[in-house]
Amino acid sequence: MEFERRRYNHSYMNIAPLVDVVFLLLLFFMLTSSLIREPAVRIKLPESKTAVTEQQRIKTVMITRQGRIFFMGREVGLNGLKEAVTEGLTGGKDTPLRIRADRDASVGLLMKVIDEVRLAGVRNFSIVTEARGN
């Protein structure tokens, strides 16, 4: 007489691929979350006599409505802008530079200023704008 053997089916789920996917998602979100910039909130800062103002830390090129160009508070012409920027940026070519142009200034002049800033070797520059209130 033969007895029928009882079969044990060990059913289990292999979770190794699931763990791999979870770790990849975790790594993806950790890397991309540091690249997301939060929008700036306008606040009024407390006053201090020894505080360094933003204008002292970040160099600024300003273009007026009349086409006058200022760098760090002094007027420079378009021809002298490259030399002034090269001399004024003591922190190297990675020093941030801001370009503030009047909304009625010529776009052609703005492009010439950007060209001069690039010719000076600056790659870290931005054009400052104001947020429109609706």
pTM for the complete prediction? Answer: 0.55
Q: Give the whole-angstrom CA distance, residue 39 versus residue 32.
A: 16
CB 63 within 8 A of CB 99: yes
For the segment 4-59, what is each residue's pLDDT rounded down to a tens digit?
777 767 677 788 889 999 999 999 888 877 665 555 445 454 555 655 555 456 78
- Tokens 């704008």 appear where? 129
Tell me which H or E stretch contains 111.
Answer: helix 107-119
Question: Residue type at 5?
Answer: R
Paired tokens of 103: 């909304």
- C-alpha 30/C-alpha 43 separation (Å) is 29
Q: Which domains does the chain have, with CATH numbers?
A: 54-128 (3.30.420.270)
